[in-house]
Amino acid sequence: MSLHQQFLQIIKQMNVQTVYAPIFYQAKYALRFEMGVGRPIDEKDQFIFSYFQNARQRARELFQALGPFDILRIDLRVGTINDKLFTQYVESIGLSSETQLITYKDDGYKYLIKAYYWYLPDFNLDVEKLFEDILYTDFRKPHFLAGNVYFLNSQAKLLYHLYDDRGLDLVATNKATLKPIYQQYHQWLLDYDRKAMQEIFEK
């Protein structure tokens, strides 16, 4: 079974039909966390580094608590960056690639997506650099990472989606996988969706 087939099989068990919509709202068992707290940029349009440092620390801690993750997927909308630049980027974080072309239709428009997959035990991924680039993706290059990076723990059937500096979704096939994380990192939960999470994880 290809990495693409494994990925689709597991997310369907989570009730996630497509990754091109907020994953949290599709899944039966999911958590949504706030990453950056406060403002990312000051009055002089300078980065507030403590904002990004705090976001990366949260991303790292949740990643370590839930690993090991064995499958990585990065989506690239065809035409947003050429293959050579993308290859250079992924090589800079310790990866090469296998690809799977998929088509995504949204609101009547068709988008051709190239989905890249890696079996992480075969690579020495610089996950800290990848986290940093995701968190800064709305503010500096590379911009293509926003919302497009997915880590999967295929054994625990757990999906980790750090979408940008604002937030992170965790999705699992069963409640027991996420409940300890809900309890331990309760203060980091996104307030907007806190009530929905309480109704699931405090029963």
List per-residue pLDDT tens for the chain, 203 residues long: 889 999 999 999 999 988 877 899 999 999 999 988 777 777 777 777 888 889 999 999 999 999 899 999 998 887 777 778 888 899 999 998 666 767 666 666 677 788 889 999 999 999 999 999 999 887 878 888 989 999 999 999 999 999 988 899 999 999 999 999 999 999 999 999 999 999 999 97
Using CA atoms, how far residue 92 sits from 86, 96, 99, 137, in Å, is 10, 10, 18, 16
Please give the structure tokens belonging to residue 141: 């290059």
pLDDT at residue 46, as a whole number: 78
Q: Are strands 98-106 and 158-162 parallel, antiparallel or unpaired?
A: unpaired
d(CA 106, CA 119): 29
d(CA 13, CA 143): 30
Q: For the chain, how many structural domains are there in total?
A: 1
pLDDT at residue 121, as a whole number: 95
Nearest to 188 by CA among 61, 49, 96, 58: 58
d(CA 73, CA 31): 20
pLDDT at residue 58, as a whole number: 95
3-state secondary structure of 122: helix
Instruction: DSSP for 161-176, please give it.
Output: EE-SSSEEEEEESSHH
Range of the domain at 133: 3-201
